[in-house]
Each structure stands twice: as structure tokens, then as C-alpha cells.
Amino acid sequence: MYENSCVPVSAQPLHDPNYGVVVQAVKLRRQVEMYQWVEHHESRDYQEDGETKTETTYTYNTEWKSEVVNSRNFDKEIGHQNPSAMPVESVTVVAHEVRVGPFILSKGLVEQINDFQTLSLRDFPALNMASFLSLHDDYFYHTQFPLHPLVGDVRVRFSFAGLSGENSRLGPPLTVSIVAMQREEKLLPFKTKSGDFLEIIYLEELTAEEVFAKEHQSNRMKTWGLRAAGWALMFISIQLTTRILYTLVDWVPLLRDLVSFGLKIFAVCLSCSLSLLVIGIGWLFYRPLVAAALGALALLPVFLARSGLPPKKKE
């Protein structure tokens, strides 16, 4: 089934009771950062008494970090201690039930809704804030002096994904295009003949043809990426295998350079030929002509090498 241009509506608005934030959306994320000491190091090599030595210089700055920085591993811990834990944890809340029109989305489709946008606190003029909180640049600060924080101070920012509701002050509701299987009022993954599960969602208005065109383009990019990675691994493995020949002539400078260049040419030719053969085998059943052409192209270096050999003299 193909569902086009529908608006996901969560069953209930999402809220964070600690900060009084309420948003009708699919997901609500609370991102917490703490002001901490951060260690930076820079190393340089120098010569002393004919020996190469390394000198490392450590510097310390205070920065906002979303993870706890362990100051016990610092070179100079004294005066640069960080708290051992976050006083407030980061969390992402997901709506229990997400609907697209009359249909309920599967868990896999909901996981793909990740168009997170920063929540502007100016849209919430009546926030119920504690006395230890202050607002600045869409952050809740656990300090009265957000422009002059101290180590251990915390700031919190919210973001949301899959905005719902027709009259939201945060903007228009999200429009999606979905390819999935309908079973009663649920949209579920569709199992293809090859055994794969198909559930596609795009966070924009598309036709069925445009959705599948985008999927074909994505699959082509992944396929060529895997082919390139396979060729690179094959090239490296061939180079490592033939490394023994380079080691045997390593003590002769001129011969060493010639052998190194020849082995690289050999590794490139052999890895290209084997990669083309593997790709051709994959096309053998579906497109035999393409497979034959790739096989011929893979054997081309062999033909060129044999044609370059001088003919044998007849006795």
C-alpha cells in the first residue's frame, strides 16, 4: 500500500515535567551539557645528544560538553576537577502511538522520523521556572549567570521531530510519504520475495514514482560504495601478499624502487580484474550480456600481457 502526503498525529502531546515543556510531536529530545575542564595536548619532537625525544605540552580550557569528561586522567588534575556525573540526564521521549490519518505507524517507521528542530523557548512565554533556572539562547541554564558559567553548571536544550497539530505555534505539521503494508488500521513492514522487509518513509510530499526513484538511487550509491570498498580491500590484500618480494630486494635501492612500482601495478591490475569478475558473476543470471562484457574486461590485462610477449622462434 502507498500512503501519500499525510500528517502524523501523536495520541498525546509530549511533555517534560521538570521544565514545563509541552510539544505535540512524534519525538521530544532533551540534550544536557555541563561546563567542564577539557585537556588538550600538543607534542613535538626534538633532538638532544643525538637522540630523538618528544615533548608534550598540556593546556586546559573550560567548554560545554554533553558527556562527562573524566578529569582523573588529566596530566594535572589539581585545579581541574570535573563532577563525576551529570546532575540531569539527556533523554529522548517517543510518542506511544503515532497515526498517519487513520493508520498507526509501525515502530520501524517511527524510528525514521528524525527531522529534529531546536525548540525556541520564545514560543513558551509562560514557562514555570524554578529560581535556579535562567533562559538564554533557547537554553535552560542551571545558574543565574549564563554568560559567566562555572565548572559544574548545566544547560539544557530541547528539540522535537515530527511536529503534529494543525494550530501549533511552532510551525506547520509534518507531511510524509509512506510505502508500507496495510493490515487493518496499521502500517507494517512488507516482506518481499527475497526475504527483505520494506517500510519506507520520506518526510516530504512525493509521488509513488518519486519515492521508488529515490530508493533506486540510494541502492545504486550503496552498491557502488560496497564495490569500491571491496576493490580497496582486495588491492590492500594483494599488496600485503606480494610484500615478501619487496623485502627480498629491499637492500638494493634501484632494484627496490623498480620492484615496488611493478608490484603496485600488478596489485592494481589484479584487484581490478578480480573485482570485475565478482561483479560479473552477480549479473550472470539477470543480465548475461553485461556479465560477459565485464568478464572480457577483466581478462583484458591478460590479453595485453600475452600480446606484448615476443613470438617464439621456430627451430
Residue 86 carries which DSSP code?
-
Handedness of CA 251, 254, 255, 260 (dihedral sign): positive
Q: Name the strand (E) or helix (H) holding 260.
A: helix 253-283
Answer whether 199's CB lies under 8 Å from 109's CB: yes
Q: Name the strand (E) or helix (H) holding 40.
A: strand 25-48
C-alpha 158/C-alpha 172 separation (Å) is 18
The DSSP secondary structure of 12-33, one letter per residue, reads S-EEETTTTEEE-EEEEEEEEE
**Whole-model pTM?**
0.74
Residues 6+ apart with CB under 8 A from 125: none
In the chain, where the domains are located: 2-206, 212-307
Q: Name the strand (E) or helix (H) holding 186.
A: strand 186-188
Beta bridge partners of 177: 4, 202
Q: Give burial (CB, 10 Å; 0-12/13-18/19+) of 290.
A: middle
pLDDT one digit per residue (tens) for the chain, 315 residues: 545 555 556 667 898 888 888 888 999 999 999 999 999 999 998 888 778 888 889 999 999 999 999 999 898 989 999 999 999 999 999 998 888 888 899 999 999 999 899 998 876 665 656 656 888 888 999 988 889 999 999 999 999 998 887 767 788 888 888 888 888 888 898 888 877 888 889 988 888 888 889 989 998 999 889 989 999 999 999 888 888 887 877 777 777 788 888 888 888 888 888 888 888 888 888 888 888 888 888 887 777 766 655 555 554
